[in-house]
């Protein structure tokens, strides 16, 4: 898939404010500071489509971007550590869960995981919740450029080993680096295949 156009549509504080669910959409989510905005900019080949920040928790709304006039890319707030109050975190969690459970045109969730770290309970718990709710998702390992090739393979394998303790079937996985422009084509081709089935 070639990205010919990528247009910011709107930021929504709650699901009811999102654009009408008339076309497929793909949501990107992960722990704070996992490299979500950088990946979105990499996928769309735009330097500043999604705002990057060294401060975790920058994304606080549901952000919709229209891609090729055919589908929405959705930037969701990160979960986990962010410099904000417990009340705000609780509101974000409620908003994210409501979106993921109720958004009728949601085709797939891309769950971003920092490849440099051992499997994190917060990520594994979120995957379990997605699986329990029957929400289709893929795992996107980020920051592969920070590790050697052997270490990348080892860390991916350790994640899969941990998941197989509770998962019979593994979700699709992608290894990416926004710095090295790695993995983006594979994600877009995956989206293309899903769109071909539902558009």
The domain of 141 spans 6-198
The answer to whether 76 and 21 have CB atoms below 8 angstroms apart is: no
- The CATH number for 98's domain is 3.40.50.300
CA 14 to CA 22: how far, in whole Å? 18
Rounded (10°) CA dihedral 6, 72, 184, 120: 130
How many domains does the structure of the chain reveal?
A: 1
Count of other CB atoms within 10 angstroms of residue 151 = 13
Asked if 80 contacts 108 with a C-beta cutoff of 8 angstroms, the reply is: no
Question: 43 has which bridge partners?
Answer: none
Asked whether residue 64 is domain-assigned, the answer is: yes
Residue 24 lies in a domain: yes
Q: Is residue 22 part of a domain?
A: yes
How many CB atoms lie under 10 A from the CB of residue 173? 17
Q: Is residue 59 part of a domain?
A: yes
pLDDT at 52: 60
Q: 27: helix, coil or strand? A: strand
- For every one of its 199 residues, what pLDDT tens digit does the chain have, with 9 covering 90 and above? 999 999 999 999 889 999 999 999 999 999 888 999 999 999 999 887 887 654 444 467 899 999 999 999 999 988 765 556 677 767 778 889 999 999 999 999 999 999 999 999 999 999 999 999 999 999 999 999 999 999 999 999 999 999 999 998 999 999 999 999 999 999 999 999 999 998 7
User: Is residue 1 in a domain?
Assistant: no
Question: Can you give the pTM of this predicted structure?
Answer: 0.92
Q: CA 26 to CA 24: how far, in whole Å?
A: 7
């Amino acid at each position: 898939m070639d990205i010919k156009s990528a247009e910011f549509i709107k930021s929504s504080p709650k699901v009811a404010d999102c654009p009408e669910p008339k076309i497929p959409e793909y949501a990107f989510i992960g722990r704070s500071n996992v490299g979500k905005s950088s990946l979105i900019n990499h996928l769309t080949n735009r330097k500043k489509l999604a705002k990057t920040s060294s401060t975790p928790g920058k994304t606080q709304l549901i952000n919709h971007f229209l891609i090729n006039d055919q589908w929405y890319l959705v930037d969701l707030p990160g979960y986990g550590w962010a410099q904000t109050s417990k009340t705000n975190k609780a509101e974000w969690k409620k908003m994210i869960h409501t979106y993921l459970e109720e958004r009728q045109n949601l085709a797939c969730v891309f769950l971003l995981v920092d490849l440099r770290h051992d499997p994190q309970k917060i990520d594994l718990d979120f995957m379990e919740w997605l699986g329990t709710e029957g929400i289709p998702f893929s795992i996107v390992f980020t920051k592969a450029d920070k590790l050697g090739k052997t270490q990348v393979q080892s860390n991916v394998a350790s994640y899969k080993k941990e998941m197989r303790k509770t998962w019979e079937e593994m979700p699709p996985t992608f290894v990416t680096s926004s710095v090295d422009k790695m993995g983006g084509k594979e994600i877009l081709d995956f989206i293309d295949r899903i769109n071909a089935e539902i558009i």
